[in-house]
Amino acid sequence: MKEIPDSELVVSSREGSQEAYAELFHRYKHKLLNYIYGYVGNFTAAQELSQETFIRAFEHLDELRDDAKFSSWLFSIATNISRNFIAERKKEPGESMDRPINASASLTLADVVPDDRYRPDSQIEKQQLQEKIQRAIDSLAPHYREVLLLCDIEGFSYEEIARILRCKVGTIGSRLNEARKKFRAAFRKEKE
Amino acid sequence: MNTPCTTIQSRLSRYIDRQLPEEESRDVERHLTLCRGCRVESEILVDAKKILMSKERIPDFLTVPLKLKRG
């Protein structure tokens, strides 16, 4: 069955269709939660921020200029919300960007997946590797995190990333250069 | 190997992501076969991308607590 384009769902949502709104929500909730979790490194916060993103998007649906660009617009809202969350955390006493957010988070992904006791060693090693990747991401400045998550994890094109981050397409390549180098260095440090 | 290393290195992510025009891409490719320094830089970026791409996605069932609601 042919998928209904986002633009049609946006128009119907604006006209008050609950079904169209539900379809957009189901279409993007997983990708959005995954992005925000990668960004803030705290699963509980990622759920709340995802919820906030959807609420804000649907409250401001009239402000979306190109209905076909709904996903970039949604991720742009998510990026702003996540940036603010990180900035607020930075202001809190005892918090700093040098300290992985996971260290003070109420819940990380490791807390919500099955207990280590029921997993073979290979699974535990895999989990540890995943935690190292997340900690290396957490150690980066927000503008590096977002470009890596959007490109290498969520698979957006350079044009889409430029729209999400509201910058020129030409900026994306150079920012990715820096971000990938910094991530690789942080990841190696985690492995030591 | 006429293009300076700094120019080549500034293009590496776009080269890796196949975002360069064909001619520039061929230029980077040629340069990398001859220049060890730029090749090392390129390998670092490719390695970072590979590690990031191996990051597991949140299992789908964990999106269940997300509720459909308007503000």
Q: What is the pLDDT of residues A132-141, one digit of tens each?
A: 999 999 999 9
Q: Is B60 on the interface with A (CB under 8 A)?
A: yes
**Averaged over A80-103, what is the pLDDT?**
69
Note whether residue A1 is domain-resident: no
Q: What is the pLDDT of residues A56-79, one digit of tens each?
A: 999 999 999 999 999 999 999 999
Q: What is the pLDDT of residues A36-56, one digit of tens each?
A: 999 999 989 999 999 999 999
Q: Among A101-105, A107-111, B52-56, which stretch is predicted with the lowest mean pLDDT? A: A101-105
Average pLDDT, chain A: 87
Please tell me which residue of chain B has the smallest CA distance to A33. B63
Query: Band of the pLDDT at B61, cuts 50, 70, 90?
Result: confident
Q: What is the pLDDT of residues A149-174, one digit of tens each?
A: 999 999 999 999 999 999 999 999 99
Residue A133 is part of which domain span? 6-191
The amino acid at residue A35 is Y
pLDDT value of residue A104: 40
- B17 CB neighbours in chain A (<8 A) are 151, 158, 173, 176
Residue with tokens 């957010």: A101
Note whether residue A53 is domain-resident: yes
Question: In this structure, what CATH number is given to the domain that contains residue A28?
Answer: 1.10.1740.10
Q: CB A34 to CB B9 under 8 A?
A: no
Q: What is the pLDDT of residues A168-192, one digit of tens each?
A: 999 999 999 999 999 999 999 998 8
DSSP A93-138: TT--TTS-GGGG-S--HHHHS--GGGS-HHHHHHHHHHHHHHHHHH
Note whether residue A181 is domain-resident: yes
Number of domains comprising chain A:
1
pLDDT value of residue A96: 40
Note whether residue A185 is domain-resident: yes
ipTM of the complex: 0.91
Q: What is the pLDDT of residues B13-53, one digit of tens each?
A: 999 999 999 999 999 999 999 999 999 999 999 999 999 99
Q: CB B48 to CB A133 under 8 A?
A: no
Note whether residue A12 is domain-resident: yes
Please tell me which residue of chain A has the smallest CA distance to B41. A181
The amino acid at residue B58 is I
Note whether residue A45 is domain-resident: yes
pLDDT value of residue A103: 39
Instruction: List, in order, residues 6 or more apart from A149 with CB less than 8 Å away.
Output: A35, A38, A39, A137
**Averaged over A119-137, what is the pLDDT?**
86
Q: CB A183 to CB B70 under 8 A?
A: no
